[in-house]
Amino acid sequence: MDSSYERLSKHFLDRIRDLQYLTALRNQNMINPSSINKQEIEEINRALLDIESTFYNLKQSVHHEKQLVEQLDTYKQLIDQQHTQLVSLGQQQQRQ
């Protein structure tokens, strides 16, 4: 099953690899700036900002999904409790 969480996790890991690559590239070229022009540095910086924004959005999405899962767990517990009570009531009524 490919859940939203798994898709988000894969996307997040892909973006981490992109960020690591771009950071390494930027750091390498800061040492030897003659091999890269100002426009390329600006493009890398924009890409880094875009990745940071993606990270933030993914974090928010994961947080929201986590809240939904917790809410579903609470509902399941309530349903299980009600089921147990109904079974108990049914058994009591059968004895009477």
pLDDT in tens, 32-51: 656 667 777 777 778 778 87
Nearest Cα to 19, choosing from 54, 51, 60?
51
Task: Write down the residue that tokens 């509902």 correspond to.
Answer: 75
pLDDT digits (tens, 9 = 90+) for 71-87: 999 999 999 999 999 99
Integer Cα distance of 94 and 60 in angstroms = 51
The pTM of the full predicted model, rounded to 2 decimals, is 0.52
Say whether 17 sits in a helix, a strand or coil: helix
